[in-house]
Amino acid sequence: MTATIPHPDAPPVSTSFEALTTDNAYARLADDCFTRVAPTPLEGDHRLVAISPDTASLLDLPPGEELNQDLTQLLAGNLPFPGGEALAMAYAGHQFGHYVPQLGDGRAILLGQVRTDEGLWDLHLKGAGITPYSRAGDGRAVLRSSIREFLCSEAMAGLGIPTTRALALLASTEEVYRERIEPGATVLRVAPSHIRFGHFEYFYYRNEHHHLAPLADYLIDHHLPHLREFEEPYLALLDHAIQRTAELIAAWQAVGFCHGVMNTDNMSVLGHTLDYGPFGFLDTYDAHHICNHSDHHGRYAYDQQPYIAHWNLSCLAQAMLPILDPDPETAAVKATGYLDTFPSRYDAAYLARMRAKLGLTVHGRDDRQLVDELFAAMQGNSVDFTIFFRTLAGFDPDGANTALRDQFINPKAFDAWAVKYAARLQAERSDPVARRAAMHAANPKYVLRNHLAEVAIKQSEAGDDSEVNKLLAILSRPYDEQPDHATYADYPPAWASQLEVSCSS
Ligand code: AMP
Ligand code: MG
């Protein structure tokens, strides 16, 4: 057999992607929606830090050395995705309340799409280099923030919370300038769509309203075909975004997840968690916790997230007005009618999550009060959010519950609530064994606390990626006991309170 030696300038050929059905339906939208641009190859050496086996299997990609090699080339910007038609998407957005008319994929590139039995998936490479939307940015992402995005994407999926996924993470020796020089990296994100509220805002405020319907049609045709059955499919799309966003934020609140930058350009129309930056999970419960060091006024504080989601949805609805009805007044009435349902939909989704967290199976009239009183008791009492709820599964209505009350600086605050909780459990004749199992399935033992990510980042920056991979494995099954990894469920160390995460990424 004779081996053919490829010409040194010939593009590398992938084998792992050959069997995939690839496409880029987004590239068939009007030219104003995007700019065709290829990734800029990373300089220096690079290494594949991690692959998510769960996301690989979503795309029917068989694991193995071949996949590792192809992903290394793809994430380094050296391998065009077959049939991909790489492009950067145009969008705008309200950032911290102020409208910014021109954003867009400034450092991410839609490499192409994969069609599986489950549907269409975007392959979106973050840190891929400069695009026409980069403004003053360098088009790159640093290893630090890429590890956080990679791990949290997969951790959220493990928690059962809608999210963009991450297929792979590549570290590079290319130097990226932030507050300090940091190693560069790319993350390959996977999601049905990366269309943001800001996509619609972009065309609305440019007065290019003729692009709004095709954008909505794209989402409906490729991802929500059942909405075609409705008399007014665009109104149904808005309705869907409102419902999914309500459910998403309820899911965030229930695990103590703070997004950090809920700008409308970071909100997915399909209701996935999108754009992981200065996010954080609550360690000590504090309703007013601000995870993003750059958020000086707490616009995106933990307890503000539902209100901000509602405000963001009103921005989306505003931008969709021209396609909701030809008559502007009627369009506004329709949009308002749907927007006004957000608070009650959010409350319903939140209460369902909280009932599950408390192990309640029957709907009680005073359940909301029970939940609110619990958080009032936790506030200011230095109670760790995740540890408390996990331990609550062992609550004994007739016992002293020392392991729980000792978590409060003032245990009497817990005692007062525990009396009501015990009565509530007895009223529904709750079975302790079934309740414990159900509560363990609703209250994760493992979440991506900042300090866990920080340890993995430091090690990877020094060339050792084992901690990233260990966290990936642990966080992909956060509800399991995993006794060998119990230290990962411990209280954060004292130094964790000094960690600051900001928009710099
Ligand atoms: P983010 O704060 O990451 O959600 O980004 C907001 C906007 O800034 C988006 O349009 C990004 O594409 C863009 N952006 C953020 N960082 C960079 C960068 N390093 N280079 C180019 N564009 C960037
Ligand atoms: Mg963003």
Look at residue 4 in the predicted model and tell me its pLDDT.
52
Name the more confident of 83 and 116. Answer: 116
Query: Region 396-414: what's the mean pLDDT?
Result: 98
Q: For atom 16 of ligand 1, which residue has the closest CA?
A: 137
SS3 (DSSP) at 30: coil
Q: Is 265 a catalytic residue?
A: yes
51 has which bridge partners? 168
Q: For atom 7 of ligand 1, which residue has the closest CA?
A: 103
Out of 37, 87, 100, 107, mutate this one to test ligand 1's pocket (max ligand atoms within 8 Å of CB): namely 107
Q: How far is the CA of 495 from the centre of ligand 1 (A)?
A: 29
Look at residue 14 in the predicted model and tell me its pLDDT.
78
464's CB contacts (< 8 A; 6+ apart) are none
Q: How far is CA 210 from CA 79, 207, 320, 391, 407, in A?
A: 35, 9, 11, 54, 57
Question: Which of 312, 113, 93 minimizes the C-alpha distance to 218?
Answer: 113
Ramachandran region, residue 485 (left: φ > 0; alpha: ψ -120 to 50; beta: rest): alpha
Distance CA 158, CA 471 (A): 12
Q: How far is the CA of 13 from the centre of ligand 2 (A)?
A: 32
Distance CA 304, CA 48 (A): 37
Question: Which of 255, 229, 241 minimizes the C-alpha distance to 341?
Answer: 241
Look at residue 1 in the predicted model and tell me its pLDDT.
38
Given the DSSP bridges, would you call strands 257-258 and 280-281 parallel, antiparallel or unpaired?
Answer: antiparallel
- The DSSP secondary structure of 201-233, one letter per residue, reads HHHHHTT-GGGHHHHHHHHHHHH-GGGGGSSSH
b (16+ CB within 10 A) / e for 247-268 = bbbbbbbbbbbbbbbbbbbbbb
Residue 484 pLDDT grade (very low, low, confident, very high; cuts 50, 70, 90): very high
Look at residue 486 in the predicted model and tell me its pLDDT.
97
Query: Region 229-257: what's the mean pLDDT?
Result: 98
- Compute how many other C-beta atoms are within 10 angstroms of the C-beta atom of residue 54: 15
**Helical pair 342-358 and 432-440, crossing angle rounded to 10 deg:** 120
Cβ-in-10-Å burial (0-12, 13-18, 19+) of 369 comes to exposed
How long a stretch of residues is the chain?
505
Distance CA 444, CA 256 (A): 11
For 43, the token pair is 């300089």
Residue 376 pLDDT grade (very low, low, confident, very high; cuts 50, 70, 90): very high
Listed by start position, the domains of the chain span: 21-193, 360-429, 451-488
Position 34, amino acid? F
Q: How far is CA 275 from CA 7, 266, 453, 473, in A?
A: 39, 6, 17, 22
Distance CA 223, CA 444 (A): 30
Look at residue 11 in the predicted model and tell me its pLDDT.
65
Query: Region 118-122: what's the mean pLDDT?
Result: 96
Is there an atom of ligand 1 within 6 Å of 85 CB?
Answer: no
Residue 416 pLDDT grade (very low, low, confident, very high; cuts 50, 70, 90): very high
SS3 (DSSP) at 67: helix
Share above pLDDT 70 across residues of the chain, in percent, rounded to a whole number:
98
| CA atoms within 13 A of residue 439's CA, in its CB half-sphere | 22
Query: Region 75-102: what's the mean pLDDT?
Result: 96
Is there an atom of ligand 1 within 6 Å of 278 CB?
Answer: no
| Mean pLDDT score across all residues of the chain | 96
Given the DSSP bridges, would you call strands 119-126 and 98-100 parallel, antiparallel or unpaired?
Answer: unpaired
Pick the catalytic residue: 70, 105, 265, 286?
265
End-to-end Cα distance, the chain: 49
Given a contact cutoff of 8 angstroms between Cβ atoms, the answer to whether 241 and 316 are in contact is yes
Query: Region 347-369: what's the mean pLDDT?
Result: 97
Distance CA 386, CA 363 (A): 24
Query: Region 304-326: what's the mean pLDDT?
Result: 98
Look at residue 210 in the predicted model and tell me its pLDDT.
98
Query: Region 480-497: what's the mean pLDDT?
Result: 97
Q: For atom 23 of ligand 1, which residue has the closest CA?
A: 106
Name the more confident of 11 and 490. Answer: 490
Given a contact cutoff of 8 angstroms between Cβ atoms, the answer to whether 105 and 88 are in contact is yes
Question: Which of 95, 298, 55 minimizes the C-alpha distance to 192?
Answer: 55
Query: Region 82-104: what's the mean pLDDT?
Result: 96
What φ, ψ does residue 389 adopt, rounded to 5°? Answer: -65, -35
Q: DSSP label at 292? A: B
| 1-20 confidence digits (pLDDT tens) | 344 555 656 667 778 998 89
Distance CA 371, CA 359 (A): 12
Position 453, amino acid? A
Query: Region 301-305: what's the mean pLDDT?
Result: 98
Distance CA 271, CA 181 (A): 35
Q: Is the pLDDT of residue 56 over 60?
A: yes
Cβ-in-10-Å burial (0-12, 13-18, 19+) of 363 comes to exposed
Cβ-in-10-Å burial (0-12, 13-18, 19+) of 329 comes to exposed
Q: For atom 17 of ligand 1, which residue has the closest CA?
A: 137
Cβ-in-10-Å burial (0-12, 13-18, 19+) of 316 comes to buried
Question: Which of 156, 219, 167 minimizes the C-alpha distance to 192?
Answer: 219
Is there an atom of ligand 1 within 6 Å of 403 CB?
Answer: no
Q: How far is the CA of 48 from the centre of ligand 1 (A)?
A: 23
Look at residue 309 in the predicted model and tell me its pLDDT.
99
For 418, the token pair is 């525990």
pTM, rounded to two decimals: 0.97
